[in-house]
A = this chain, B = another copy of it.
Amino acid sequence: MSEPDPVGRDALHFCLNLNRATAVLTRHIDHRLSALHGLSLNDFTVLHSVAQAPQGKVRRSDLATQLGLTASGVTRLLLPLEKIGLITRLPDIRDARISYVALTPTGSELLSHALSSAAHISEDLIGHVPGMQLRALSTLLDSLK
């Protein structure tokens, strides 16, 4: 009994489940990061991405890709971060359309604390999942561009 029935039904349920789980997960992280450092998950991801980047700077459009946001969403996300002095704006000498994001000393300092918090929070939320399985899902997620 119980015909699971084909035609993308598994894929659909996976998507619905992903949607639900991610909403819950990011809300948790948002709350905790916000309480500890006054940062949302996306705020944190900006700082982290910039810090990881080759020259310590990223193009705004690359941030959009890394966050899964639109360019417009990035503009609005960065606005308050720049205003409170966590990030700065750097021009590109070759191409005046491009604007890089870099960390200020303050941003860098805040990140160093937030990074450890974020890691602990994540570990707390999904630490019970075996590392191998985690990496499997991670590579699956990478395939979703």
Contact = CB atoms under 8 A, between A and B. Distances in A.
Contacts of A129: 11, 140, 143
Interface string A111-145: 00001101111111111110101111110111111
B135 A24 contact: no
Chain A interface, >50% SS class: helix
Interface in A29-45: 29, 41-42, 45
Given A119-B12, A126-B14, A133-B136, A22 B22 contact: yes
A31 to B, nearest CB: 12
A11 B117 CA distance: 12
Interface residues of A, number: 57
A143 B9 CA distance: 20
Interface stretch (A63-71, A75-83, A86-94, A99-107): A63-71
B11 A18 contact: no
Contacts of A119: 7-9, 11-12
Interface centre among A8, A25, A127, by most B CB within 10 Å? A8
Interface of A: 7-27, 29, 41-42, 45, 48, 66-69, 115-116, 118-129, 131, 133-138, 140-145
